[in-house]
């Protein structure tokens, strides 16, 4: 699904990503750990095609197409979606209006989608204006539910979310990635689980999100290099015990 080959990215001539190689297959969810300033958000933005980042070397392939140089909206139309950590507010654009835009020509039931993420009261408010951390996350997820991407980039789904909301955000992130299949007479659960195959690349600081979503692999991004491929819970345990110090050793 997504293949990143030897990706080098700079901002204002300062190299941030220094040769990233990563493959995420269909239906796979990958967790990305890393300290502040390691380049996690840069990687997500570069895959999405936004921000003032310059790809100096390497390429990004999505379903075999080279998307390294195409604009963000073309990537979105190919099925890449993103939940932003701090999206801007837009005066006069109601949440409802944006969710409709996300759905494009697909018919959607906005009210019932909004009910799922407890956002009914926000539909007629300007998007993100005065939203709390948890409200922003729920609004981002609502937009993605309408957009129905088959590859989701999640920038810190748990940041700024209070304890009460983390379960809801986690459950909805899971639903976005895995769908919400229920057994029926025609198909087995096994079949259903494989009909909707959404992949994901999720940045997390705290790892709380791992309590809710089933991740296949974890990586650590450190100083622009990707290292340490392992079970995400094991990586998290290790980071909680030893911090990122060990990564330095790994990379030298």
Partner 1 sequence: MNDIDLSKYEFSGHGSEQIEDLNRMADKEKQSMMMAGFDSSEKNRSASFVLIDHDHAFCKSYDPGVEILPLGLALKIHEGLADLQWNLVNPEKDEFTRLAADHVHGGYVIRVKKGARLTAPIQSCLMMHTEKVGQNVHNIVIVEEGAEAHILSGCTTTLADQKAAHIGITEFYVEKNASLTFTMVHNWGEQVEVRPRSVGQVEAGGVFLSNYISLKPVKNLQMYPKIVMKGAGSVSRFNSVIVATEGTYMDVGNRVILDAVDTRTEIVSHAIASGGTIVARGHIQANISPTKGHLECEGLLLNNGVIHAIPELDGRAEGVELSHEAAVGKIAKEEIEYLMIRGLDEEEASSTIIRGFLNIDIMGLPPELRAELDDAIAETENSMF
Site residues, partner 1 (CB under 8 A): 48-51, 71-73, 75-77, 81-82, 84, 87-88, 90-93, 97-98, 101-102, 104, 126, 143, 147
- Give the residue with the Cβ less far from partner 1, 22 or 82: 82
Euclidean distance between CA atoms 40 and 189, whole angstroms: 34
Minimum distance of partner 1 from residue 93's CB (angstroms): 4
- Give the residue with the Cβ less far from partner 1, 81 or 218: 81
- Give the residue with the Cβ less far from partner 1, 4 or 236: 4
Euclidean distance between CA atoms 54 and 69, whole angstroms: 10
Euclidean distance between CA atoms 62 and 128, whole angstroms: 30
- Give the residue with the Cβ less far from partner 1, 60 or 166: 60
Euclidean distance between CA atoms 249 and 153, whole angstroms: 29
CA 128 from chain centre, in angstroms, equals: 18
CA neighbor of 111 nearest in space, from 145, 84, 152, 140: 145
Minimum distance of partner 1 from residue 75's CB (angstroms): 8
Minimum distance of partner 1 from residue 131's CB (angstroms): 13
- Give the residue with the Cβ less far from partner 1, 90 or 248: 90
Minimum distance of partner 1 from residue 148's CB (angstroms): 11
Indicate the SS3 state at residue 15. strand
Sign of the dihedral through C-alpha 189, 190, 195, 196? positive
Minimum distance of partner 1 from residue 88's CB (angstroms): 4
């Amino acid at each position: 699904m997504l293949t990143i080959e030897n990706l080098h990215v700079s901002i204002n001539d300062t190299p941030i990503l220094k040769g990233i190689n990563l493959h995420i297959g269909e239906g796979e969810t990958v967790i990305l750990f890393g300290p502040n300033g390691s380049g996690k958000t840069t990687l997500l933005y570069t895959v999405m095609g936004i921000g003032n980042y310059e790809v100096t070397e390497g390429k990004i392939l999505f379903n075999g197409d080279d998307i390294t140089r195409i604009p963000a909206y073309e990537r979105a139309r190919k099925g890449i979606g993103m939940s932003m950590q701090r999206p801007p507010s837009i005066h006069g654009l109601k949440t409802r209006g944006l969710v409709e835009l996300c759905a494009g020509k697909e018919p959607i039931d906005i009210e019932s989608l909004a009910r799922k993420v407890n956002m009914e009261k926000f539909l007629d408010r300007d998007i993100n204006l005065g939203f709390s951390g948890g409200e922003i996350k729920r609004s981002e997820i609502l937009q993605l539910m309408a957009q129905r991407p088959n590859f989701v980039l999640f920038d810190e789904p748990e940041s700024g979310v209070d304890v009460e909301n983390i379960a809801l955000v986690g459950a909805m992130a899971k639903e976005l990635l895995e769908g919400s299949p229920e057994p029926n007479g025609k198909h087995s659960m096994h079949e259903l689980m494989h009909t909707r195959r959404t992949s994901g690349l999720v940045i997390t600081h705290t790892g709380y999100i791992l309590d809710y979503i089933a991740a296949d692999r974890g990586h650590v991004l450190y100083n622009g290099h990707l290292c340490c491929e392992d079970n995400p819970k094991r990586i998290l345990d290790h980071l909680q015990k030893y911090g990122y110090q060990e990564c330095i050793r790994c990379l030298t």
